């Protein structure tokens, strides 16, 4: 690996503030997440649902993030129907975001693979969901061999809804 190139490592508690700052940039630039969470630290940290999380780090700075969690929310029915598995058998890859100035360098792919690998290691079938308007992410998942297993409407706290797609690997 060339000196100075980003590396993927497990997230530590002290990374959370940097992850929230990175999420702010992503929210402003990409509209992800669509609505800023009421408690952004908790949204990133993951709470009881969290299985594991990773960051991409370059020169001591967090430039990417992904998490693996247990399933929850309105995508669960689509994941269960699409995989034929119960929720307890699924690992949800989520909270994937990369610093705008580090895009198209393979970091999103590496983070996605780290989470999928850990999911499989724990005997959990990897699944994820994405708003269909997030075309870069959709393209990444397709390029990585994830298969679409169903569409659903993702409801936002303010009552709006966005078309979303569920995937499995
Ligand atoms: C989606 C995201 C994580 C991708 O991160 P990234 O580090 O730029 O992705 P990678 O460099 O690993 O891309 C790997 C491949 O995915 C595809 N891809 C990634 N971003 C793409 C884009 N914007 N447009 C088209 N294809 C894209 C390409 O095939 C790419 O390979 P290539 O660069 O050799 O053509 C990043 O764009 C991001 O943070 N977006 C905002 C947050 C978001 O939408 N998160 C997903 C929520 S479900």
Q: Indicate which residue's Cα is closest to atom 21 of ligand 1.
A: 136
Q: Indicate which residue's Cα is closest to atom 1 of ligand 1.
A: 137
pTM: 0.96
Closest CA to 112 of 41, 33, 53, 47: 53
pLDDT at 169: 97
Q: How far is the CA of 102 from the centre of ligand 1 (A)?
A: 10
Q: How far is the CA of 61 from the centre of ligand 1 (A)?
A: 20
Ligand 1 mutation target, pool 103, 128, 131, most atoms within 8 A of CB:
103
- Is 136's C-beta closer than 6 angstroms to any atom of ligand 1? yes
DSSP β-ladder status, 90-98 and 125-131: parallel
- Is 33's C-beta closer than 6 angstroms to any atom of ligand 1? no
Q: What is the mean pLDDT of each run of 10 residues along the chain (169 residues)?
A: 76 98 98 95 96 97 98 96 98 98 97 98 98 97 98 92 97
How far apart CA 85 and CA 123 sit, in angstroms, is 12
Label residue 15 exposed, middle or buried (CB < 10 Å: 0-12, 13-18, 19+). Answer: buried
pLDDT at 154: 95
List the beta strands (DSSP E) in the chain.
7-10, 50-58, 61-69, 90-98, 125-131, 147-155, 161-168
pLDDT at 6: 85
């Amino acid at each position: 690996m060339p000196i100075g190139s980003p590396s993927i490592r497990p997230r530590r508690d002290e990374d959370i503030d940097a992850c929230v700052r990175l999420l702010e940039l992503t929210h402003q630039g990409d509209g992800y997440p669509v609505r800023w969470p009421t408690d952004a630290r908790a949204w990133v940290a993951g709470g009881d649902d969290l299985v594991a999380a990773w960051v991409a780090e370059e020169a001591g700075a967090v430039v990417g993030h992904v998490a693996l969690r247990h399933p929850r929310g309105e995508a669960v029915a689509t994941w269960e129907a699409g995989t034929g598995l119960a929720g307890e058998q699924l690992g949800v890859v989520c909270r994937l975001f990369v610093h705008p100035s580090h895009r198209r360098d393979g970091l999103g792919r590496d983070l996605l693979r780290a989470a999928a690998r850990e999911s499989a290691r724990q005997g959990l079938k990897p699944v994820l969901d994405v708003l269909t308007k997030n075309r870069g992410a959709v393209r990444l998942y397709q390029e990585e061999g994830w298969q679409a297993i169903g569409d659903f409407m993702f409801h936002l706290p303010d009552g709006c809804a966005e078309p979303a797609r569920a995937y499995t690997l």
